[in-house]
Amino acid sequence: MMRALILSFAVLVSAAAAAGIAPAAAQSGYDRPGGDYANAPVANGDPAVCSNRCERDKTCRSWSFSYPPTSGGPAMCWLKREVMPRVESSCCVSGVRGAGVIEPRVGQIEFSIDRIGGDYRYFETKPDPKGKVCAETCEAESRCRAWTYRRPGYGASVAHCFLKETIKPPRRRPCCISGVVR
């Protein structure tokens, strides 16, 4: 009996893999437009708050979190009655119920990480979902060992790049993207 149960499970897993079905995951850089039934500000600007709201609400099937706008105002959480298709957008993080928040892993880039302190200079920069200009500037300067890009809407209406001459410990903060160069 146990052997038949294991075989049935293996067949289901194989069928799901063949059909291209993968586990659901929340993703940075995607929105899920439409299907909203509730929204609320997220005072601390953390997408995990939105994911947790969806988990606690029986009506929720998917959600979208939008970072604070550059014009001012809070980050927002949008709960949805159905699983809406995702659309690439740097404004947002979205997911389905049960997925949590999974930050992308792109080489040495640290999403939702701030390395507080050790700055030798900072500058305003254009909004960039990967902090590319900040990373490239740090790599080009021999004095720079690490960097932190702070998204607009977190303490200022414009994005900032902080170049660091010392490597400080990582701290989880949704405002920022960081990296260590040398």
CATH of the domain at 76: 3.50.4.10
> What pTM was estimated for this model as a whole?
0.70
Binned at pLDDT 50, 70 and 90, residue 26 comes out as low
Please indicate, yes or no, whether residues 89 and 120 belong to a single structural domain of this protein.
no
Identify whether the C-beta of residue 124 lies closer than 8 Å to the C-beta of residue 155.
no
Range of the domain at 59: 24-96
Please indicate, yes or no, whether residues 126 and 150 belong to a single structural domain of this protein.
yes
Domain for residue 10, yes or no?
no
Binned at pLDDT 50, 70 and 90, residue 41 comes out as very high
Among the candidates 96, 125, 146, a domain finishes at 96
Mean of all residue pLDDT scores within the chain: 84
Domain for residue 85, yes or no?
yes
Please indicate, yes or no, whether residues 51 and 115 belong to a single structural domain of this protein.
no
Domain for residue 9, yes or no?
no
Domain for residue 16, yes or no?
no
What average pLDDT does range 10-14 have in this prediction? 37
116 to 109, 111, 176, 177: CA distances (angstroms): 16, 14, 10, 12
Instruction: For 55-88, write each residue's pLDDT tens digit.
Output: 999 999 999 999 998 788 899 999 999 999 999 9
Please indicate, yes or no, whether residues 89 and 140 belong to a single structural domain of this protein.
no
Q: Both tokens of residue 79?
A: 């709960």
Give the per-residue pLDDT at 27: 76
Please indicate, yes or no, whether residues 115 and 92 belong to a single structural domain of this protein.
no
Please indicate, yes or no, whether residues 116 and 139 belong to a single structural domain of this protein.
yes
Binned at pLDDT 50, 70 and 90, residue 109 comes out as confident
Among the candidates 47, 67, 96, a domain finishes at 96
Is the pLDDT at 150 greater than 80, yes or no?
yes
Give the per-residue pLDDT at 60: 96
Report d(CA 77, CA 66) in Å as an integer: 7
Helix (H, G, I), strand (E, B) or coil at 149: strand
Is the pLDDT at 21 greater than 60, yes or no?
no
What average pLDDT does range 142-170 have in this prediction? 94
Quote the DSSP letter at residue 148.
E
Domain for residue 19, yes or no?
no
Domain for residue 1, yes or no?
no
Please indicate, yes or no, whether residues 134 and 92 belong to a single structural domain of this protein.
no
Which residues 6+ apart lie within 8 Å of 116 measured at CB? 148, 168, 171
Q: How many residues does the chain have?
A: 182
Among the candidates 96, 122, 154, a domain finishes at 96
Domain for residue 174, yes or no?
yes
62-66/87-96 β-pairing = antiparallel
Domain for residue 101, yes or no?
no
Number of structural domains, the chain? 2
